[in-house]
Chains A and B, each alone.
Chain A
């Protein structure tokens, strides 16, 4: 019983780390007051999803799924068993996800710069306070 539980934990250790990263990212996004710290949380969060896909595709003793034409006819070369090929699709998908992540971070930093120019602060509490003051000004005029 204990052994099987231990096996389960050790066998999925990549997923445990991904899960921990995910929670760290969520915590950063939700709990941190500074907007840049929130962004760092967001990046960690996105990276954890990427690692999740990569971990899902990996296998022990796996190899690249490439067939070299010249090797096919060479008698002394042992071709890898197709079952050992690592599925390349998750990696390709994650290339797209990385690009999306970079674009998101770029837009987010543009917003942060724009916020800082207008309010001279990046602390969420101070921002909300200043925004509320703006709103009161709107109502009194």
Chain B
């Protein structure tokens, strides 16, 4: 039994999620309270499998799993290498913490939709994990649509405007997926294979065909929309703002990362570093778009009054860092991008959970209405917010500093000084929009409002432990990753650098 589980550990990840997603509506049909435990325990199981998989990859090297024992390229292959094992662990651990937080929030925000909501969350996670683990280009498309369809539902469950935001995302997401599918079609017609490793092996023989270039451009374009790379980010702010708290907290850290992962996988592991950076100015275009995204997202984040919308624009900027690391296409920059995948997942999840805590206790998350009462009312939430905010700005002991450091080193290696300037400017802009809140809550002396009696003692009114714990764990994670950055980079990220870079 144990060996059976161990042999099949790669396939267990999407399988557990898929089975749970189908199980939830059946089991919880009568007793709605069962939906959350099912989703939660399934995610715990998957996190355990993910940790085991990371260990397995580090000890034994990449695992190639044949689905149904059909040998590739005919069968579908699941590839568990350092990159996919790492991204899967990041996605699932963030999802687990957000789900822990979700119990009370969903019970309050969506009391009647609990069962389908959790089923959709689990189905979306199934899609994300499938995208990351599969080694087959068409299988990836199917998982992409599984995750996207559940995503639309998760977004549309929110406020009054949310279906409109979801509809816009649906249009953009379908364009993205169709572009990707079209690219796969061109690639398949030239190479006759859908297996990533096989395509990579065949590509050198047909590399002069213009269709290969078209395939690459279409696939990168599609993934650019999915990861919300500037100027294809239009769907993101509305979707994150109007979605329910849990949806935005789970989508923001995972969804766009998966898009970035596919872009990375396709560009460097299928087409190869040489082809991507020599034949076309593609990597340059991506790094410039990312640089614009970094500045544009940060500036617009400053202009927002609503905290969730501010975080959404900040996501556009943070995706820019990952895109910049991909675009610079050298080992240091790529380490920065991959480390930022981890950091940004934890930072954004933490910040969205803080916004959720504010909404839960204060009834709003409007930046202009936050006062110094918050620091007495919710000291721990504010502490988590402060850690995540400082990490976003990039203060040294926190992990956000190190991803920026690696990116700067990568830009230095390419002698691209302008990107270093952009990273510095964006750090300052980040500081502006986060210190705006910190200043309001911690620094501003209380101004007595005439005609309104002063609240002398604000009662402590912190959210309950099940909501506070994940927020604090995420914040603590940022400190730990910062301290252990060399260990993480040397232990696992170093092995993700594709051949020929």
Which chain B residue shows the least CB distance to A29?
B171
A100 near B160: Cβ-Cβ < 8 Å: no
The 0/1 profile, CB within 8 Å of B marked 1, for residues 95-129 of chain A is 01100100110011011101100110000000100
User: Is B138 among interface residues, defined by CB-CB distance under 8 A?
Assistant: yes
Contact of B160 among A46, A56, A108, A118 (CB under 8 A): A118
A111 near B161: Cβ-Cβ < 8 Å: no
**B409 shortest CB reach to chain A, Å:** 40
Given contacts A100-B145, A134-B160, A139-B305, contact A56 B189 (CB under 8 A): yes
The 0/1 profile, CB within 8 Å of A marked 1, for residues 159-178 of chain B is 01101101100110011001
A-contacting residues, B123-148, CB 8 Å: 138, 141-142, 145
**B22 shortest CB reach to chain A, Å:** 15
**A24 shortest CB reach to chain B, Å:** 13
A108 surroundings in chain B (CB, below 8 A): 167, 170
Interface residues of A, count at CB 8 A: 33
B171 near A42: Cβ-Cβ < 8 Å: yes
B142 surroundings in chain A (CB, below 8 A): 96, 100
Contact of B175 among A26, A119, A139 (CB under 8 A): A26
B160 surroundings in chain A (CB, below 8 A): 118, 134
A49 near B167: Cβ-Cβ < 8 Å: no
Main secondary structure of the interface of A (DSSP, over half): helix
B178 surroundings in chain A (CB, below 8 A): 45-46, 49
Stretch at the interface among B89-97, B99-107, B149-157: B149-157
Which chain A residue shows the least CB distance to B165?
A131
Contact of A131 among B164, B171, B174, B188 (CB under 8 A): B164
User: Is A85 among interface residues, defined by CB-CB distance under 8 A?
Assistant: no
Contact of B182 among A49, A107, A110 (CB under 8 A): A49
The 0/1 profile, CB within 8 Å of B marked 1, for residues 80-102 of chain A is 00000000001001001100100
Main secondary structure of the interface of B (DSSP, over half): helix
B164 near A93: Cβ-Cβ < 8 Å: no
The 0/1 profile, CB within 8 Å of B marked 1, for residues 58-95 of chain A is 00000000000000000000000000000000100100
Alpha-carbon gap, A38 to B175, bound state (A): 12
User: Is B181 among interface residues, defined by CB-CB distance under 8 A?
Assistant: yes
B171 surroundings in chain A (CB, below 8 A): 29, 38, 42
Alpha-carbon gap, A104 to B176, bound state (A): 13
On chain B, which size bracket covers the interface? 20 to 34
A-contacting residues, B175-193, CB 8 Å: 175, 178, 181-182, 185, 188-189
Alpha-carbon gap, A93 to B189, bound state (A): 13
Given contacts A97-B181, A103-B145, contact A46 B174 (CB under 8 A): yes
B-contacting residues, A14-65, CB 8 Å: 22, 26, 29, 35, 38, 42, 45-46, 49, 52-53, 56
A103 near B149: Cβ-Cβ < 8 Å: yes
**B400 shortest CB reach to chain A, Å:** 31
Alpha-carbon gap, A131 to B465, bound state (A): 36
Contact of A107 among B152, B161, B189 (CB under 8 A): B152
**A10 shortest CB reach to chain B, Å:** 19
Alpha-carbon gap, A82 to B145, bound state (A): 35
Contact of B138 among A45, A93, A131 (CB under 8 A): A93
A97 surroundings in chain B (CB, below 8 A): 141, 181
A-contacting residues, B434-467, CB 8 Å: none
A-contacting residues, B298-351, CB 8 Å: 305
A127 surroundings in chain B (CB, below 8 A): 164
**B239 shortest CB reach to chain A, Å:** 12
**A130 shortest CB reach to chain B, Å:** 9
Given contacts A49-B178, A53-B185, A118-B160, contact A111 B145 (CB under 8 A): no
Alpha-carbon gap, A131 to B164, bound state (A): 9
**B5 shortest CB reach to chain A, Å:** 29
Given contacts A46-B178, A49-B181, A139-B305, contact A115 B149 (CB under 8 A): no
Alpha-carbon gap, A138 to B275, bound state (A): 51
B185 near A56: Cβ-Cβ < 8 Å: yes
A131 surroundings in chain B (CB, below 8 A): 161, 164
B188 near A90: Cβ-Cβ < 8 Å: yes
The 0/1 profile, CB within 8 Å of A marked 1, for residues 184-207 of chain B is 010011000000000000000000
Given contacts A52-B182, A131-B161, contact A107 B170 (CB under 8 A): yes
Given contacts A45-B175, A115-B163, A115-B164, contact A104 B138 (CB under 8 A): no
Which chain B residue shows the least CB distance to A41?
B171
Contact of B170 among A90, A93, A111, A119 (CB under 8 A): A111
Can you spell out 22 A-B residue pairs with CB atoms less than 8 angstroms apart?
Answer: A22-B182, A29-B171, A38-B171, A42-B174, A45-B174, A45-B178, A46-B174, A49-B181, A49-B182, A52-B182, A52-B185, A56-B189, A90-B188, A93-B138, A107-B170, A108-B170, A110-B156, A111-B170, A115-B164, A115-B167, A131-B161, A135-B161
| Chain A contact residues, CB within 8 Å of chain B | 22, 26, 29, 35, 38, 42, 45-46, 49, 52-53, 56, 90, 93, 96-97, 100, 103-104, 107-108, 110-112, 114-115, 118-119, 127, 131, 134-135, 139
Please give me the 10 A-B residue pairs with the lowest Cβ-Cβ distance, nearest first.
Answer: A114-B163, A100-B145, A111-B167, A115-B163, A56-B189, A111-B163, A49-B178, A131-B161, A53-B185, A107-B152
